[in-house]
Chains A and B, each alone.
Chain A
Amino acid sequence: MNHRFLLLSSLAMLLLSVSCTRSEYDPSNRINKEMTLFGEEVYVPVGQVGPVTVKSLLSSSKTIGDLVNTLLKEEYDGTFYVESDDAIYAYNAYRQALEIPDSSQPYHWDIGSQSGSVASTAFLLRMFNMGFVNQHLTLYVLNPITESLNLNTDIWVRCTNSAYVETYSKEFKMEDYNLKSSYSKIPIVKLDLPADLTDMVSRVEFNDLTLDLPAKVGDKIRTSDDAKYSFGAQYKANPAPTENFSFAQAFSLSNLNVPLGKFKLHKCVLSFDLENTLPFDVTVRSIKLMNKKGDYITDVVFSSDIKIMGGKPGAPAVTPVELQVEALEGTIPDIEGVAVDVKIAYSPSVGVVPLSSAMGLSLKSASVKLHGGITLFGK
């Protein structure tokens, strides 16, 4: 009896031991697969990002690219310029010949004073307080007849600032200026405006304008449907931010659909040296995130008043930037949009530098530090 008892006891214990499990570790119970990696901090070097140049931005957005291309042209080195060819005065040659009382005699044509504005596209840019450097102005005349003409006039070239106050003027006296016969425009004035002048040429005046026409001028008009006496101005200049250049702009990006919520991020610090060759200072006054409803996510704050110094090609400005994104409570949710308020202003340390498509920003030694971990397989 004892033996049997002992045997059975032993076998029972053997079976118990074989089936030894601990219910709290039973995998058939619920397993919470959520895990948070790098819980304290993770450092990810990003290295260099960019450069993001004006050219690359323009090529990435057809709308903006087309808009800018209608206003600006590019030199071979990427420097933007505005160019215009504006007529100051034009008169049909046949009509003028008919108006001469005695066409068999030479005629002193007193046109009087004519004036006009130039650089029509540049005016648009001046609305943004943009200045102009390397301004070249060519005044020309189109002689529609087959003989030379004598030109007399008193020309004034005037520049005004954005408040329409004259800041520069120059007079050119033309006395018995011989206008040779030519199919093309005959430049009568070539003017390189002073290097330190950034106010654009706003007006050209031809005062006391006279032309000495030969006898029988009607027979000497060059055969053309559009034969006319034409006075005009060709203008070329490089736009450049100047002292008054400044504007603030708030813009927003929507439909970003960045599903950050599931990662339960707490705080992110982006550090980089921002190398800037754009010739103006930029202040990021605020960055705000938006949720799906379009409301601002007030629980997540960014560093504000980030100042980025202006630079220029060959002498970029390097600004160390630390951009901090932090959830005050909880974690950073899904992001649908971002609203950025920036102020862009002339950079006194850089001076006046023409804009170029090669200018831009690049990040050097960029890195990301995440604090609080990245949650995966969350609910």
Chain B
Amino acid sequence: MKKIILYIALFLSAGTLLHGQVYQQGFFLKDYRPIYRINPALFPDSDFIGGFELTRNKVQNYGVSTFYYPTDDGLVSGLNESVSADQFLSRVPDIVARQGEVGLNLFSYGIRRGNGYHSFEIGFRLPTIISAPKGIFELLKRGTVENQYNLSDLGVQYKAYVELSYGYGYKLSDIVSIGGRAKVLLALHGMSYRFTKLDVQKSDAGYTIYSQAELDLPSRFYKIDGFPDQDINLSDIHSSYKFPMPTGGGAAFDLGVAVTPNEYLTLSASILDLGALAMHYGNAAVSTGYQYFNGLDLSYDDLNKNGLTNKALEIGKKFLDGLRPRLRYNKWRFEPLPFTANLGIRYTLPNFDQLRIGAIAQYTNYKYSPYWETRLGADYTPFKWLDLTASFGRGTYGFLYGFGISVHVSRFQVYYGLETGTCGTQKETINLIDPSHRTWSIGLTYDL
């Protein structure tokens, strides 16, 4: 019987090609020390310290397959004539976005005191967002068949901040645990340039473009010289050479509850990163206004190759000048963090405690592409020093799977995990083929 269950679990794992999901994977892993990151009501049995854990998370609602199509004539882009507009545009999301985060946990410390568990962490986070509206691709593919285009949300953003956290989990009873983590966020640096509004209106007279673009450079490293409402050039941005003091701050909270009806079954619910970050954009700039393109207006002297080129460049320069940001001081931006909600269940087989199975569901409200997933997972400990876990499920972008591995040597524990969809990557590149959520993490802990 044990073997049958074991083989079923492995079969399910094989179906997932043994990939896993790191944060969730920790939920399945037998001895994942910083499990309180998934739910602060869950905590390990031992005290530990950890450091230099690196996590990279990437959510992109597009992939190579969004823009490229395999044909008998080779790989063609969606802009190839052989791909119809409907076929191409049906694959392109409303906002093409890639959101990612690199997280470096510099130090972790967990200590058990009675029925409570304290955790301290110092980490560094670098979230990034690149976004482009579908309208751009529609324009390129179909041309100007519509009279109005909304090209808002074209932009690139990143910010860097330090996260200091304290967590406390407490066993209310043998069955119920609760926990919470408070995080203090110190913003170090950031950059954002995005079109909050970019409307293009076509008429017989030409195009009217209303744009509102914001450039934010919250940083102590740089300073933009100039006066309020003055157009800025790249040459106006100078290093300030000041010690990088925080340029903003924020707070976030994790809350969780865990129910353990018996020693084999654990139910978990948590909500993570409820909070916001306020950054001081001392170097904020904005450009807003209408621009009109009613034609090249060519004189007789312009009717030659150089004349036409110069005229086109002149109009392009005028357009770019219109988008040029103008200084605006003393601006604060308050941005909520994308929160995550988790629900999980895991079960250790009573007669075969080397195997644990479970399920977990997650929802994260990323700005441009909210992400959800549910997955079933199994964890197997063939040897005391080795822990393997695998999972599969469905998410926003379809089928997904994950794996994790944890190796114990003496009191050290090294873990590595990857969770992804069936997107795959292009051979010899890191380009994801399909839209996907992908996370990998690697870390080292030491039991005290």
Contact = CB atoms under 8 A, between A and B. Distances in A.
B73 A25 contact: no
A27 B74 contact: no
Nearest to B14: A13
Nearest to A35: B79
Contact of A40 (B75, B142, B204, B380): B142
B296 interface: yes
B278 interface: no
Given A38-B140, A45-B207, A46-B298, A14 B75 contact: no
Interface in B34-86: 64-65, 68, 70-71, 73-77, 79-81, 85
Given A39-B141, A47-B296, A7 B426 contact: no
A30 B73 contact: yes
Contact of B295 (A6, A13, A28, A45): A45
Interface centre among B3, B300, B405, B424 (most CB of A within 10 A): B300
Interface string A8-51: 01100110111011111111111111111111111101111111
B403 A17 contact: yes
Interface SS, B side: mixed
Contacts of B79: 35-37, 39
A25 B65 contact: yes
Nearest to A17: B17
Interface residues of A, number: 52
Interface string A347-379: 000000000000000000111001001010000
Nearest to B63: A25
Contacts of B144: 38, 41-43
Contact of B205 (A2, A10, A25, A45): A45
B77 A35 contact: yes
Contacts of B207: 45
B386 interface: yes
A24 B434 CA distance: 13
A270 to B, nearest CB: 13
B383 interface: yes
Contacts of B142: 38-41
A39 B85 CA distance: 8
B129 to A, nearest CB: 25
Interface SS, A side: mixed
A129 to B, nearest CB: 28
Interface in B368-387: 380, 382-383, 386
Interface string A205-243: 000000000000000000000000000000000000000
A22 to B, nearest CB: 5
Contact of B382 (A7, A24, A39, A51): A7
A16 B390 contact: no
Contact of B298 (A6, A32, A49, A53): A49
A283 interface: no
21 contacts: A6-B10, A7-B386, A10-B10, A13-B14, A13-B18, A22-B433, A24-B70, A25-B70, A27-B75, A27-B427, A30-B75, A31-B74, A32-B71, A32-B80, A36-B81, A43-B143, A50-B299, A50-B300, A51-B300, A366-B295, A367-B295
Given A20-B424, A34-B81, A49-B298, 6 more contacts: A10-B380, A25-B433, A39-B143, A41-B142, A43-B143, A45-B294
Interface of A: 2-3, 6-7, 9-10, 13-14, 16-18, 20-43, 45-53, 56, 264, 365-367, 370, 373, 375
In the A-B complex, list the 8 residue pairs whose CB atoms are closest, starting with the nearest.
Answer: A47-B295, A38-B143, A30-B74, A17-B17, A24-B70, A13-B18, A35-B79, A45-B206
Interface of B: 3, 6, 10, 13-14, 16-19, 64-65, 68, 70-71, 73-77, 79-81, 85, 139-145, 202, 204-207, 293-300, 303, 380, 382-383, 386, 388, 390, 401, 403, 405, 418, 422, 424-429, 431, 433
